[in-house]
Structures are given as C-alpha cells and as structure tokens.
Structure 1
Amino acid sequence: MSEAEPKTVEPMWPNGASEEYVAARLELAKAERALRDRIEEVAAARRRMPRGLLLDQYAFAEGPADPGLAEPVRETGLRELFGEHRTLVVYHLMFHPDDDAACPMCSMWVDGFRGVAHHLAQHTGFAVIGKAPLPKLRAWAARRGWAGLRILSSYGTSFNADLNAERSNGDQRPMISVFTAEGDAVRHFYTLPANFLDDSQRGIDLLSPVWNVLDLLPGGRGEWYAGNDYA
C-alpha cells in the first residue's frame, strides 16, 4: 500500500464496521507501512556503520547454566562468549554492585530475551553482563527464571566504564551492544542505549514485546512502569 493501492484489501475489521472506521483504518495501515519502511531504512544505515574499536581482552566471572547452583565459577573471556558465531549481543544489565536487585525495566527486557534465546542462538552469541558481584547476579537470575542465559559479572573490571555502560559516578546505564569477532580479537560494532541523544526514553523499546503490545491498546502504555514486585 505504498504507491499503488491494491485492488482488494483483506479486512482488518469485523463485518458490519462503519465506513468511517474502515476509512480511518486504511489510513492507519498506510502509516504503519511507512513506519515499517522507515525502520528498515534505519536498520540498513546501521549495517553501513564503519568499523568500530578493537577491544581489550576482558574477562568476566561466570557460573553454571543453572542459576540455582553456586559452583563452579570460572573466568570467561569476552571472545569466548561468541561460541561458534562471528557476532555477539550483550545486554548491559543495570545492576549496581551496592544494590540488591536489578533495574525493573532491565529485568523485563531480559525476561523477553530469555524467551527467545534459543532462536537467537541460531544466529549469534548472546549474554547478559552486569556490574554486581556474581552471587547477586545469579540470585537475581534464579528469582527471574533466567536458566540457560549466560549471566556474567563484570565486577572488578573496567568493561562497563570503557563501554560507557556506567557513568562517572558509578550509575549503571541500560543498553545493548553488538560485537564482532576477528580471529582472537573482538571489535565493537554498535551500542543502543535506552535513552536517545536528547535524553528522551524508549530507545530500546522495539526490543521488548511488552511495549509493542501495550501500544496496541486503546489507552496505549500510559505511565506504566515495569516492577519487580509482581515477577
């Protein structure tokens, strides 16, 4: 429905809908298609980004796949997280070392990643890295049911600071990063923070089904904020 209208349109409304409703829905469908096209344009521009920085050989603390188990703990290098893939996606979990719980919003995003991790594994490595010490991270992962996800602690490393996943005062930033492997080296490709350049929010909303489903409702998402009390 971009340039030429189709001769027939599959209905997106029940039988008996008013002409006013049908006309408005068709206009909305055009806007939805234009939004899709714009998203694809941005994705193409992202793929054209120049080569990023070669990174240090960071190492993180990691436990077993079952977050309910405390041992064994091993040191895992950033390059190891790629597995058989040439790319790696890292979610920077907002979990300050002094806190006892992760950010509710971050936890909601990781809940979603947990549900599709087996699909992502067909294409890329995926890991969740937080600044809190490993026991805190694993206790939180066990509470949230994140079994199977690679949950690693960057505590005691400069990883968060170097990637600007934390501010100079130690506050953690929610964001997602993509890396590429070049032999034994790791190169930064792309980072997407939760806030845009003007500090407005919803920078990574497209990565969570929760926001996209709420936006379909008559009242939209409103002022709702994820919480740790109901999960």
Structure 2
Amino acid sequence: MSSPVGLWPDNADDEYRAARTALWQAEQDLRDALEAVAEARRALPPGALLRDDYALREGPADPGLDQPEVTRSLRDLFGEHRTLVVYHLMFAPGAPEACPMCSMWVDGLHGVSHHLARHTAFAVVAEASVAELRAWGRRRGWDGLRLISAGGTTFGRDVGAVRPDGTLRPGLTVLRREDDGVRHCYTAFADWSEADRERGIDLYSPVWQVLDLLPQGRGDWYAANDYAGRLRG
C-alpha cells in the first residue's frame, strides 16, 4: 500500500497515522466504486420516450422580474443542449412554502448552475404555479434558474415525481433530446425505500458531504426555510 502525504501534522502519533492511512485507502476504494457506478449509469440502455405535449409553464429566469409566463414543451427546456437535468421540487399548489430540504438542494445546484450550463440544460420543476415558484425563487435568491410549473400535466406522474396518491417526491431526472422525441435516461429520488428515506440523492448536495467530514457527523439535523443566507422577504 502506498502512503498518503501531508494528511496530518508532523507530531501526529502512530495510532492516528495508521488509522488515517487505512481511512485514506477506504476513501480511494469508495472513489473507485463511485466511478464504477457512474460508468454503469452512463451505460444504461435507452430509456422510455416521453410525451412532448406537456403544457409546462415558465416564469422569467430572474424571479424578480414581473414578466408574463409562457407555455413550454418539454423539448423547449433543452435549449441548445442535448441533455436536461430536472430537479423535482416538492412544492404543491397552495402550499405556504416549498420543502426545506428540496430548497437546500436547489440552493446548492443554483450555486453551480452557471457551470452546469456549459454542459447541460437545468430546470427546477414543481406542481406549484408559476407565481408561487417565482415568489419562492425570489425569496431564495434563485436568479437565473428556470422555474417550471408542471401543475395540471402528467409530467410528474410519468417520471415518478408525483405518486398515484398525489404526494410528491424530491429527486433528479436526466433527459436526452433525440430526433424522435425526449428520452428518459435516469431518475433518482431521496427516498430509496421506506426504510432508507432521504439518502438517495445525498451525493448531489455539498451540505451532506461537508457535514460527514465533521467528528460529530450530520446527526439528526434537518434543513429549515428560515435561515437561508440569501432568504429575502
């Protein structure tokens, strides 16, 4: 086994050095496993073709602008890109606010959205109305994000973000624009199962990755909507 360099102060004792070296190897093994999973994800066979007649509604990219909403097809959301990443925001029509955990995930994606735009289209989709999404985006400071209302369409149900009983699921979907339509590539939800809730998309939020570095770990912490750094009235 090769030895790590620079991972501890010079006065670290042998017990710490040995334990950190073993952890360093485990971290490399985890990296290799993640890369293998990513390769398998990319190698999935072609997914189902989706309808392209959803009457999706969009407000302006800057939620502070009072511009009329427009109707978009699913294909319209791709712009110049071949791929589209959708975050399924748990925000029901008439709800006072969006899911705090979902909003945390979108906060992180918003922070890197200008980097993502070099490679793929990205949109936040919810069942709430455009006006509700625009108001929430303004409070969170989500300037530049495409906020899409799928309310009144079957898009959420078709990709599993809306359960048959109408309850919502937080997650991510990747779509690809083909000559014959829009093809589903991949969907991941926070709730892998009833016994393993809210861990399915942890890798896509920097918050969990940093909390897991701490000696005390993430504990039972849960995001809230009353302290976000860019929260606006």
Match of 1:148 among 130, 144, 148: 144
**Counterpart amino acid of residue 123 in structure 1:** H
Q: Which residue of 1 aligns with 2:203?
A: 206
DSSP-derived class of the 1:14 partner: coil
**TM-score, with normalisation over the residues of structure 1?**
0.94
Written as runs of structure 1 = structure 2, the 5 A alignment for 1:27-66 is 27-57=22-52, 58-66=54-62
- Distance change in 2, residues 1:30/1:198 (3 Å): farther
DSSP-derived class of the 2:62 partner: coil
- d(CA) in 2 for partners of 1:164 and 1:214? 29
Q: Which residue of 2 aligns with 1:118?
A: 114
Contact 2:4 2:24 in 1 (8 A): no
DSSP-derived class of the 1:181 partner: strand
DSSP-derived class of the 2:143 partner: coil
What's the CA shift for 1:97?
1.2
**Counterpart amino acid of residue 61 in structure 2:** A
Q: Deviations over 1:102-144 (max 9, x none)?
A: 0000000000000000110111110000001111111000000
Percent of aligned pairs sharing the same letter: 58
Contact 1:83 1:125 in 2 (8 A): yes
Match of 2:226 among 219, 222, 229: 229
Query: Structure 2 unaligned runs (5+)?
Result: 229-233
Q: Which residue of 1 aligns with 2:11?
A: 16
**Counterpart amino acid of residue 4 in structure 2:** V
Query: Structure 1 unaligned runs (5+)?
Result: none
Q: Deviations over 1:40-90 (max 9, x none)?
A: 111111111111111101231111122012322111111111111111100
- d(CA) in 2 for partners of 1:123 and 1:30? 32
**TM-score, with normalisation over the residues of structure 2?**
0.94
**Counterpart amino acid of residue 59 in structure 1:** A
What's the CA shift for 1:39?
0.6
- d(CA) in 2 for partners of 1:37 and 1:69? 45
- d(CA) in 1 for partners of 2:50 and 2:4? 51
What's the CA shift for 1:9?
3.4
Higher mean alpha-carbon deviation, 177-186 vs 207-216, is at 177-186
Q: Which residue of 1 aligns with 2:166?
A: 170
Match of 1:72 among 68, 72, 77: 68
Contact 1:179 1:190 in 2 (8 A): yes
- d(CA) in 1 for partners of 2:6 and 2:224? 38
- d(CA) in 2 for partners of 1:98 and 1:173? 17
Is 1:180 the equivalent of 2:176?
Answer: yes
What's the CA shift for 1:184?
5.9
DSSP-derived class of the 2:34 partner: helix
Contact 1:70 1:135 in 2 (8 A): no
- d(CA) in 2 for partners of 1:218 and 1:175? 28
Write out the 4+ residue segments of structure 1 that deviate beyond 4 Å after TM superposition. Answer: none
Q: Which residue of 1 aligns with 2:92?
A: 96
Contact 2:4 2:21 in 1 (8 A): no
